[in-house]
Amino acid sequence: MNLHPHLRHGLLASALLLASGLVAAAEPRLLAKELQQARTYTVSSAPTEPLHMDPPTLPDLSGYTAQAVQSKIDRSHPGKVTVRRMFQEDSLKEFVGGDNKAAEWVQRQHGIPQAIFIDDGHVDLAQLSRQVPRQYLNEVQPGVYLARLPIVVGRKGTLEINSKVRQLRLSEEGGAFLVNDGKLFVTDTQVTGWRERSNGPATFRSPKAFRPFLLSWGGTETYIVNTTMASLGYAKSKSYGVSISQYTPNLARRMGRPEPTGWIIGSQFSDMWYGFYCYETRDFVVKDNTYRDNIVYGIDPHDRSHGLIIAGNTVHGTRKKHGIIVSREVNDSWIINNKSFDNKLSGVVIDRNSINNLVAYNEIYRNHTDGITLYESGDNLIWGNKLVNNRRHGIRVRNSVNIRLYENVAMANGLVGVYGHIKDLSDTDRDIALDPFDTKVSLIVVGGQLVANGSGPLSIDSPLSVELYKVAMLAPRKASGITLSGVLGQRQDEILDLLVRQQKAVLIDPVERQAEMID
How does 278-305 read in b/e, with b if 16+ C-beta sit within 10 Å? bbbbbbbbbbbbbbbbbbbbbbbbbbbb
8-state DSSP, 24: P
Q: From the candidates 4, 122, 302, 306, give the one annotated as an active-site residue.
A: 302
Burial of 339 (0-12, 13-18, 19+ CB in 10 A): middle
Q: How far apart are CA 490 and CA 26, in angstroms?
A: 6
How far from each other are the two terminal CA atoms of the chain, in whole angstroms? 52
Other C-beta atoms lying within 10 Å of the C-beta of residue 205: 11
> Burial level of 155, CB count in 10 A (0-12/13-18/19+)?
middle
Q: Verify whether residue 421 is a known catalytic residue.
A: no
Backbone angles phi, psi at 425, to 5 degrees: -100, 10
DSSP code of residue 2: P
d(CA 94, CA 85): 15
Yes or no: say if 260 and 221 are a contact pair by the CB < 8 Å rule: yes
- Torsion from C-alpha of 146, 151, 156, 157, nearest 10 degrees: 0
505 CB neighbour count, 10 Å cutoff: 21
Distance CA 81, CA 62 (A): 36
Cα separations (Å) of 156 from 153, 368, 376? 8, 45, 41
DSSP track, 374-396: EES--SEEEES-EEES-SS-SEE
Catalytic positions, written as ranges: 302
